[in-house]
Amino acid sequence: MDLREFFIEDRLEKFRTEALCNLGESGVRNLDLDTLAEYLSLDLRDLGRLSLADSPNSGRKDLREEISKLYNNVSPDQVLVTTGTGEALFIAFHLLLEKGDLTSLFWPAFQALYEVPRSIGANLQKVDLLPRLESKELGFGKENLNKLFQNSPKLIIFNHPHNPTGIIAEEEDKKELRKLSGNFPNWILFDEHYRFLSDEEDLGWSGLGICENSISTGSITKCFGVMGLRIGWLIGPKDWISKARSMKDYLTHTVSPISEFLTLKLLQNRRVLQSKIRDTLRGNVRTFAQATASTGKLPGVESFKEPRGGVVGFAKLQEGLDSRKFADLLYRKAGVFVLPSADFETEGYIRLGFGETEERFCLGLERWSTLGSDVIALLNR
């Protein structure tokens, strides 16, 4: 099968750079190089002494060492540095899946997590999280976790903190996962892009190592506002990572030495920036939750459950609203960019990113609050 158009990225490409208030991104508002250097106490003259020769195909050793420290019992030989997590996922899916294989994942999902398996010819087993999101309960829940493992899938994709709902693996979820994975003979991929933004500890929980055939993807780009560095990683058993590196030779081959250098410095000095970003995210989530709790203050939104981790959340729209038409209206009339749930191949929600600056976020909500009559007109079309 062919890869279809990337619905989410198409809309991002169209609106993200021009929006007065960008709530469509799934990452933190991007920094400029001077600001990043200030946070990291970095002398940018060091860049002038950096060789522009190819990096090692696996990634420079000191960077792989630093990444390995983010996990328990992982060696640098188990780390492959990739051009974002997109490349890491593409490699993993092509190594693990064949036509007809069953792939199980939570739904709705970020398109790259299912579109590439679908293009290979894998069958999708979707576990619907929306009833859980609309309940008062936290976490993924025992029933949903058991559904992931039904029918002995060749690959389970466990995305957490979950994009787009913001659900995280709570303690009961972790216990259930350990139980279910104990006798699971196939592969589990933990897509863990937002571990740096856990509310509870320095790093969020990783499922890597929960079973012998577990692998993980991660990145610094969305969590630290450095999307342009395009650095991600893939972690797994040493022999399997060797195969992944061989496949990467046919794709990007190596990543930029400049991106690797800045990523290394960021990981070595991440905690100050991490703390600042968490404070901004918490403030924006709290502001949005308060606005939606006030009847009619944010026209079009029926309910909102605060995300427990990551950068994004899924807000439920008033019944009868078309998510794409509402997102278009919000951008056209208020300059506020959000992603419609139709781009996640479901309906009735919008995905919000909370990584904007506090000033732009509040200004966006203020402009949004004036759209009452426009939303009513949209409902009555």
What was the pLDDT predicted at 310? 92
What was the pLDDT predicted at 200? 67
What was the pLDDT predicted at 296? 63
What was the pLDDT predicted at 74? 97
What was the pLDDT predicted at 237? 97
Does the reported pTM lie above 0.75? yes
The DSSP-derived string for 39-93 is: HHT--THHHHT---SPPPTT--HHHHHHHHTTSSS--GGGEEEEEHHHHHHHHHH
Q: Where are the domains of the chain?
A: 7-32+271-371, 48-269
What was the pLDDT predicted at 106? 98
Its CATH class, for the domain covering 7-32+271-371, is: alpha beta
pLDDT string in tens for the chain (381-residue length): 777 777 777 787 877 778 888 999 889 999 999 999 999 999 988 888 998 998 899 999 999 999 999 999 999 999 999 999 999 999 999 999 999 999 999 999 999 999 999 999 999 999 999 999 999 899 999 999 999 999 999 999 999 999 999 999 999 999 999 999 998 999 999 999 999 997 767 899 999 999 999 999 999 999 999 999 999 999 999 999 999 999 999 999 999 999 999 999 999 999 889 989 999 999 999 999 999 987 668 999 999 999 999 999 999 999 999 999 999 999 999 999 999 999 999 999 999 999 999 999 999 999 999 988 777 777 766
Residues with Cβ < 8 Å from 348, sequence gap 6 or more? 316, 317, 319, 321, 323, 341
- As a CATH number, domain 48-269 is 3.40.640.10
Element (H, E) at 145: helix 142-149
* HSE-up of residue 294 (Cα within 13 Å, Cβ side): 9
